[in-house]
Amino acid sequence: MGRLTSLLLGLAFVFPAAAETPPLDAEVAYEYSQAAIGGATEDHVLTDHRGQPLRLAELRGRPLVVSLVFTSCATVCPITTDHLRYQILAARRAVGDDGFSVLTFGFDASGDTPAQLTGFAGTHRLLRLDDWHVASADATTTEAFLRELGFSFKTSARGFDHVTQTTILDADGRVYRQIYGEAFPLPVLVQPLKELVLGTRTRSVDPGALWDRINFLCTVYNPLTGAYRFDYGIFFGIFFGGVSLVLTGLVIFRLWLERHRAQRAAGPAQRNRRTS
């Protein structure tokens, strides 16, 4: 219900009051979006903001956060992008700078040219962020990619009426999670990323991978500050739990040792009584 509410709010914000086409049905759009989870995305060839080809295959191997916008949007898309930038920076502090990459995809195949993408990315300070790609594609590729992501939109007099959706792909390019709304809470983004990174980066016994796992498990969200922090209390809990186990073991060992000594001392006395 919470996700559907976010979707409804997003749709209500995007739609103009007097649209020429009927608005998207929020429930249908939500079900369509959720049905895409688990599905794979193909190795599409996009065009980045410099006019260079960008293959989705180049972004495999790590989770990918896909933000869907059109650059001529004057309402929701700028708000969503600015909020996502802030949340991505916070997520990287929690998950690691190299834990995932980001793709802002312009779904207006005719309007989201490299020049438009460059202007949009510059306005929203995306160009200097590592592993943040800005791209679009031709109409056929765009249609196929959006279908794989479960993204709903319609053309309107003011551009597009669309779901406010951010999609998280896993390292193999499969849809893992859908996020709705232009101002979602940080844990909604970080939690699935932590799940994916834990499953792909920390299976090794390498000390660096082990530290990654400890860091992820001990990073908790503080709602008062709106950020993640390292919870040292977990280490204190482990330490005192270990001390308690050691002390319990020592008590048990001491009781066993005293009983053993008592049995050894009682042995000669019992033999003397039998011989007398």
- What is the distance between the alpha carbons of residues 77 and 128, in angstroms, rounded to a whole number? 19
218 is annotated as contributing to ligand binding = no
Helix axes 207-217, 186-201, angle to 10 degrees: 150
Rounded Cα distance, 4 and 2, in Å: 5
Return d(Cα 116, Cα 108) in angstroms, integer. 11
Two tokens at 75? 């309402």
Cα separation, 166 vs 181, in Å, equals 8
CA angle centred on 68, ends 73 and 186, rounded to 5°: 105
148, 49 in Cβ contact below 8 A? no
Stretch (H or E) spanning 234: helix 233-275
- Alpha-helical segments (H) within the chain: 2-14, 26-35, 76-95, 114-123, 139-149, 186-201, 207-217, 233-275
Question: Of 224, 226, 199, which Cα lies nearest the Cα of 213?
Answer: 199
Point out which residues pair with 65 in neighbouring strands: 102, 168
- Mapped onto helix, strand or coil, the DSSP state of residue 174 is strand
Query: Which residue ranges make up the annotated binding site?
Result: 73, 77
Provide the annotated binding site for Cu cation.
73, 77
